[in-house]
Structure 1
């Protein structure tokens, strides 16, 4: 075979300069494109598999975590950490406003995750 028409590949990383060290496999330029396309297809599939399949369930976990989170830098007179939901609630009311704020924060986080996946 003519080495100028050979391309070395190794685990979907392609080098345009053939190597004489015998490492890796050698393919013709005709096969190069097919291998490159297959690697791109596999990379896309791996990306699909890495995405959460149930965004709502992930949102539920994030929301529950934020609802139970206690602030480390805000403590009461007894040294107890204050709940985040208390700090997000309108003063003099129940924690309903803080819970709603956490729900909105969760929606924002999940939306960002979906946009960047």
Structure 2
């Protein structure tokens, strides 16, 4: 795990102890911040290539999922929250996306089907 945008001189990302693993869903680490006042947003960088993390709201409902490529940078992030004035499940593609606008994730989408076990309370 890494913090937002901080780098080590060795070229890696720093790993301050801001997050803790509280469980696993289908082999994916469930993270929550160590500081209960901190934002539930997941890290934007990872020290582990090809890893993924998921977070849940305090009521146990799905909040966010992020997956990283071999370069340890995010490939895509799925959020459940307000988008275009409506609460929805939506995806942000990070690589190769020129407009960076999230897209609504619908049940027929391949990534919805792939990750549907994570979407508790959606």
Query: Is TM-score (shorter-chain normalized) higher than 0.5?
Result: no
Q: Give the strand-richer structure, 1 or 2.
A: 2
Q: TM-score, normalised by structure 1?
A: 0.21
Q: Give the helix-richer structure, 1 or 2.
A: 1
Higher CA-based Rg: 1
Q: TM-score, normalised by structure 2?
A: 0.20
